[in-house]
Amino acid sequence: MLDEREAGRIVVETVTQMAREQRPLMMRVLPEGPPRYWKHFPEKDARDARTKARWYYHVHADGDRDADEHGHFHLFLHRTQIDPGAKPIAIPPQGEDARAKVVHLAGLSIDQVGIPRAWFMTNRHVTNEFMYPAETLIAHLSAYDVDETREDATVNRFLTAMVALYRDELAELIEERDAALDALGDDPERFEKGHDVLSHRKIDLDAKIGALGLF
């Protein structure tokens, strides 16, 4: 995993490049034309050829997202990246036959001009994931690397670096996710309905980069 300072440099580099080229994140991911709500972009997700980690971007319909959000990324590890002995706390209804063997790492919300605005953690049913406990997921944050998907290379590098840059915050959010689940009690259905977003934190990218003293 990139160290925090190197990750910060890459985030600054990629954001600067996107601004210079006047092609923000959403323009690098979405097709031209009117928005197509709820669809995955790319359609079958961006999958890293080496790690199998992946991402996709999508846009919720008006009224189902914050006014300043354009859309958000969902970031995933592949289940084969998790230590074989680790036990999930919840699995898809299809069990081991679930088509996508994904573990949701985080959601990354993007504002109307293409700048990250918030991280968030979702319930199991939102992405039909194999959900692992906080301790396991935090231990595998360093496995997130999507530099080798077939999609836009700048987007790939940006997402890999953002996870490394915000590792500590993501660890806290994952712990908050599990605390929110615990507060729902022992009902096994707590993973399968409602409570879509379990933890959330705003991003101040300028402050984060400034605190590293890189520039």
pLDDT band at 6 (very low <50, low <70, confident <90, very high): very high
With a pLDDT cut of 90, the percent of the chain lying above it is 87
Q: In this predicted structure, which of 45-49, 51-55, 68-72, 147-151 has the lowest mean pLDDT?
A: 68-72
pLDDT at 136 over 70: yes
Report how far residue 97's alpha carbon sits from residue 32's, in angstroms, rounded to the nearest whole number: 35
The pLDDT value recorded for residue 71 is 94
Q: What is the pTM of this model?
A: 0.96
- The yes-or-no verdict on residue 86 having pLDDT over 70 is yes
What is the pLDDT averaged over residues 167-184?
97
* Whether residue 118 has pLDDT greater than 70: yes
| Mean pLDDT to the nearest integer, 129-151 | 98
